[in-house]
Amino acid sequence: MDTMETISDRVRELRRAQGLDQRELAARAGVSMQTISNLETGRLRDLKVSTLSALARSLGVSPAELLSPASVRAA
């Protein structure tokens, strides 16, 4: 699994666990809903560090946690 795929899966997982829709997460993070949609569907291939940080902050996790595949977190 590549890094963007890991981030995509983790953002989607955390967003759903917190009962947020894409629009709500986008508003919290200060990014467009299109950015969230593109990230979660794999159409976004590059992510600015500032966007990664904003997403992590809005989901209540560290940026490193968004970069960690589930298999690493479970170990």
Tokens of 49: 């560090």
For the chain, the structural domain boundaries read: 3-74
Q: Nearest-CA neighbor of 59 among 38, 34, 40, 44?
A: 40
Q: Rounded distance, CA 22 to CA 50, Å?
A: 18
Q: Does domain 3-74 have CATH number 1.10.10.60?
A: no
Instruction: Read off the pLDDT band of 25 (50, 70, 90).
Output: very high
44/73 Cα distance (integer angstroms): 24
Question: Which residue type occupies 31?
Answer: V
The whole-number pLDDT of residue 72 equals 54
- DSSP 3-state of 34: helix
* pLDDT of 61: 96
* Residue-averaged pLDDT of the chain: 92
Q: Which run of H or E residues covers position 65?
A: helix 63-67
Record the pTM: 0.88
* Percent residues over pLDDT 70 in the chain: 91
Task: List the single range of 18-22, 34-38, 45-49 with lowest mean pLDDT.
Answer: 45-49
